[in-house]
Amino acid sequence: MGIPRLLSNAMARVSTVRYYQLVLVIAAALAVVAFYSFGSDRQNFSSTTKRIKETHASHNANMNDGDLSSDTNAEQRVSKGASVGEAGRTNTDSINAGTAEEQRPRYLHALMMFTKVDTSQALQQKFQVAMRSMLKHARFEDGEVLTLHFVSDEPSREIGEKILEDLLQGATFRCEVSFHNVKVLTEKLFPIVEAMQKHFSAGSGTYYSDAIFFLSVAMHRIMPAEIKRIVQLDLDLKYRTNIRELFEQFNQFPAGAIIGIAREMQPVYRHTFWAYRRENPDSKVGDPPPGGSPGFNSGVMLLDLEAMRRSEPYNQLLEPRSVGRLADKYRFQGHLGDQDFFTMIGMEHPSLFHVLDCAWNRQLCTWWKDHGYGDVFQLYYHCQGPVKIYHGNCNTPIPDD
């Protein structure tokens, strides 16, 4: 009787051990399931971004489900389009059958500054003109997604959400919208651009809030690696052609070019470089096209972020010593932020830039015509051919269609 009792006790202990092991295995499995169930709903654009998804039903029979996501931190995303169920998730059924690479959506990224819009009716009107004209002409191929990024403060974001929710109802293509907190981006930018601000900002000091006006200069360092190309656009634009054609300009970049940008169409830099021009009377710096170097206008820019990350010459130009050396050489003191920086380094390193035709950034401002440069103004202002994008800079009215 002793042996059976010992065996019985031993089996009981084994059963108890196996029971606890089973409980631990089940608990671990549940933890993994919970992690992927909840974690998979988080879509990362940056480490500071959280999204709360809200799926909205279709507003009519011609459009499938859209998505309007609200945000608790830095970003908010609105998605509209025929094959979208959630922001960032693609239903590939609508894309032509083929390889996995062919079925993967192609994201075309565009960014706009959208700050202090809540306090300015004029900015709100400009934004509506820009977006209505963009959406009117935009056409994209199957599998392409236009992703609009807005750098915004919280009050302006609320205005933008309302306007975009209405405008995107009629979109005939996939469009995703993300709002990014201007304070978050400024914190990332300031250490990179602090040294250059004194050369290219209004006033005599370096102002923390001014850093955001140099976003394009260092965007390759703060955007995630999966975003390889992006177009940066001013709000005071009116589109007269398909914006997809602007993205095609990336394919026209010559070897070594990392940024696409149009020339400045006023004698702004004829004036800014006056000291250098006086000391170097044979220089073409500040002269009008086609033979001169009039500088750049940053209203429409194509940024090849991947090429910017790889470019050793460009990243060396971001160093404070390099910026200071060029500013001293050209006697440069500007006030237009990134535009001034690109203009200055373009005088020394023109191969970094692909010059866009003036039709892609047809600037309308004529301020310098009446301020000392009327005799040469048309040499800068002339633009031949049909306009693709109007730029109503310095609050200049844009012609009606």
* pLDDT tens-digit readout, 211-264: 999 999 999 999 999 999 999 999 999 999 999 999 999 999 999 999 999 999
Domains and CATH numbers, the chain: 106-241+248-391 (3.90.550.10)
Q: How far is CA 87 from the centre of its chain?
A: 17
Instruction: Read off the pLDDT of residues 257-294 as tens digits, 9 standing for 90 and up.
Output: 999 999 999 999 999 999 999 999 999 999 999 999 99
pLDDT-wise least confident of 60-69, 74-83, 290-299: 60-69
pLDDT in tens, 148-165: 999 999 999 999 999 999
Stretch 367-380: mean pLDDT? 97
Residue 170's pLDDT is what? 82
Predicted local confidence at residue 201, as pLDDT: 82
**Looking at the predicted structure, is the pLDDT value of residue 49 above 70?**
no
The predicted model gives 98-126 an average pLDDT of: 88
Angstrom distance (rounded) from CA 25 to CA 36: 17
- Closest alpha carbon to 123 in 150, 143, 147, 87: 150
Q: What is the mean pLDDT of residues 334-362?
A: 97
Question: Which SS3 state, helix, strand or coil, does residue 371 take?
Answer: coil
Supply 397's token pair.
């009215």
Give CB contacts under 8 A, 24+ apart, made by 186-190: 186/211, 186/212, 188/221, 188/222, 189/214, 189/215, 189/218, 189/222
Q: Which of 5-19, 93-107, 379-393 has the highest mean pLDDT?
A: 379-393
Tell me, what's the pLDDT at 79?
A: 54
Mean pLDDT of 346-371: 98
Using pLDDT thresholds of 50, 70 and 90, give the confidence band for residue 210: confident
Phi-psi region for residue 116, left (φ > 0), alpha (ψ -120 to 50) or beta?
A: left
Buried b (16+ CB within 10 A) or exposed e, 302-337: bbbbebbeebeebeebbeeebbeebbeebebebebb
Q: What is the pLDDT of residue 102?
A: 59
Gap between the Cα atoms of 223 and 45, Å rounded: 8
Interatomic CA distance for residues 86 and 99, integer angstroms: 23
Asked whether the beta carbons of 359 and 350 are under 8 A apart, the reply is no
Q: Which of 236, 250, 354 is nearest to 304 (CA)?
A: 250
